[in-house]
Structure 1
Amino acid sequence: MSDLKIGVIVGSLSSTSINRKLAEAMKKLAPEGVSFTDISIDLPIYRQDFDADYPAEGRALKEAIEGADAILIVTPEYNRSIPGGLKNAIDWASRPWGQNSFKEKPVGVIGTSPSGIGAAIGQNALRPVLGFLNVAQFNAIEVYLNFKDGLIDDNHDITNDGTKAFLAGYMKDFVAFAGHHKG
């Protein structure tokens, strides 16, 4: 797939996020011809009062999502659910009513956690929200990655060959799915 633009949303606002490390590693595993844009979710708390006049951060988020051919969400889980910053960004991007920037966009969801279930519950909490937004969800391969020290090195390379092959397969299939659903 050539000329596919994937927007990457990291569900954690932490500068030392292990999911940010995973996002960087995933970019390196993508097939040739794919470009990536990091989409910031550092936004004020959404409220309907903003609908009449979106602030610059909200407009930038919506434009970044709309400018991407597909979205890859790389997220932890917080308290067995969606991180607050990620849910807030989704609310910004899907509003005002009738101006949903995610509509019909191909979206993949992955994540990592030190937990043995690797952010599975948080991802499963996110999927119904994405369903309501009418995205094309990539569900054929699920990634619930148990993060261990050394799994991703300082160059953002996956150090375990089996994990690297699995994640490269995910990227290959996600890119094909996104290309098929590209608007």
Structure 2
Amino acid sequence: MSLQFLGLAGSLRAKSTNRGLLRAAQGQLPAGVSLALAELADVPFYNADLTEKPAAVQRVLAQLAAADALVLACPEYNYSLAPALKNMLDWASREPDNALLAGKPVAIMGAGGGMGTSRAQYHLRQVCVYLDLHPLNKPEVFANAFAGGFDEHGDVRDERLLGQLAAQMQALKDWTLRLRA
């Protein structure tokens, strides 16, 4: 059985460490799993007055529909999750019966200062409850983006962090299969 994960990074910067976490996760996948990355930079803010979904929104919604599980790379902005990530979740939640999110397994990771986005991740977990997403409890990935574990391009260099990502991807595979049973 093959599983398709979809990664969404809350940071839009090309050299973002959160995008780097997703790229590193792509290299740490267990057998039978692939991880596509959604591009959120061109997704406009959710607006209920729009009668037609913009092309960028339609593209990501199609990726969400095809995904068996989500991998959310959550930066921390002012103790909360980044607007780009929340915005895409808002767009997706407006689909009839919340069909793109309800019941879907999720892994959450993040790179930032000090506590490595822990506050934002816990806030994102609250959002997941409302959206009926099923976050993986452990292992958690809280990376300090300023402690030398990333290079100047935002790519992961730290072997310990790569191991954490591998463990989280394996756990997400197991969680996804468990929820399907």
TM-score, normalization by structure 1: 0.88
Instruction: Determine the C-alpha separation between the residues in 1 that align with 2:56 and 2:139.
Output: 32
Instruction: Determine the C-alpha separation between the residues in 1 that align with 2:147 and 2:126.
Output: 31
Deviation track 1:25-80 (CA, whole Å, cap 9, x = no partner) reads 11111112211111122311111112x42222222221110101100001211111
Tell me what 2:18 maps to. 19
Provide closer, same or farther for how the CA distance between residues 142 and 53 of structure 1 changes in structure 2, counting only shifts above 3 A.
same
Provide closer, same or farther for how the CA distance between residues 160 and 38 of structure 1 changes in structure 2, counting only shifts above 3 A.
closer
Q: What secondary structure is seen at the aligned counterpart in 2 of 1:32?
A: coil
Tell me what 1:107 maps to. 106
Determine if contact 2:25/2:166 at 8 Å carries over to the other structure.
Answer: yes
Tell me what 2:121 maps to. 123
Determine if contact 1:28/1:157 at 8 Å carries over to the other structure.
Answer: no
Q: Comparing 91-100 with 32-41, which one deviates more in the overlay?
A: 91-100
Which sections of structure 2, spanning at least 5 residues, go unmatched? none
Q: How many residues align?
A: 180
* 1:179 Cα deviation after fit: 2.3
Provide closer, same or farther for how the CA distance between residues 163 and 44 of structure 1 changes in structure 2, counting only shifts above 3 A.
closer
TM-score, normalization by structure 2: 0.89
Provide closer, same or farther for how the CA distance between residues 86 and 158 of structure 1 changes in structure 2, counting only shifts above 3 A.
closer
Determine if contact 1:70/1:182 at 8 Å carries over to the other structure.
Answer: no
Instruction: Determine the C-alpha separation between the residues in 2 that align with 1:119 and 1:27.
Output: 21
Instruction: Determine the C-alpha separation between the residues in 1 that align with 2:118 and 2:38.
Output: 22
Calculate percent identity across the aligned residue pairs: 31
Tell me what 2:143 maps to. 145
Q: What one-letter code is carried by the residue in structure 1 that aligns with 2:29?
A: A
Determine if contact 1:69/1:182 at 8 Å carries over to the other structure.
Answer: no
1:180 pairs with 166, 173, 178, which one? 178
Determine if contact 2:22/2:37 at 8 Å carries over to the other structure.
Answer: no
Determine if contact 1:25/1:156 at 8 Å carries over to the other structure.
Answer: no
Considering only aligned residues, what root-mean-square deviation do their CA atoms show, in Å? 2.2
Tell me what 2:57 maps to. 58
Tell me what 1:92 maps to. 91
Determine if contact 1:71/1:108 at 8 Å carries over to the other structure.
Answer: yes
Q: What one-letter code is carried by the residue in structure 2 that aligns with 1:87?
A: K
Which sections of structure 1, spanning at least 5 residues, go unmatched? none
Provide closer, same or farther for how the CA distance between residues 44 and 156 of structure 1 changes in structure 2, counting only shifts above 3 A.
closer
Q: Comparing 39-48 with 151-160, which one deviates more in the overlay?
A: 151-160
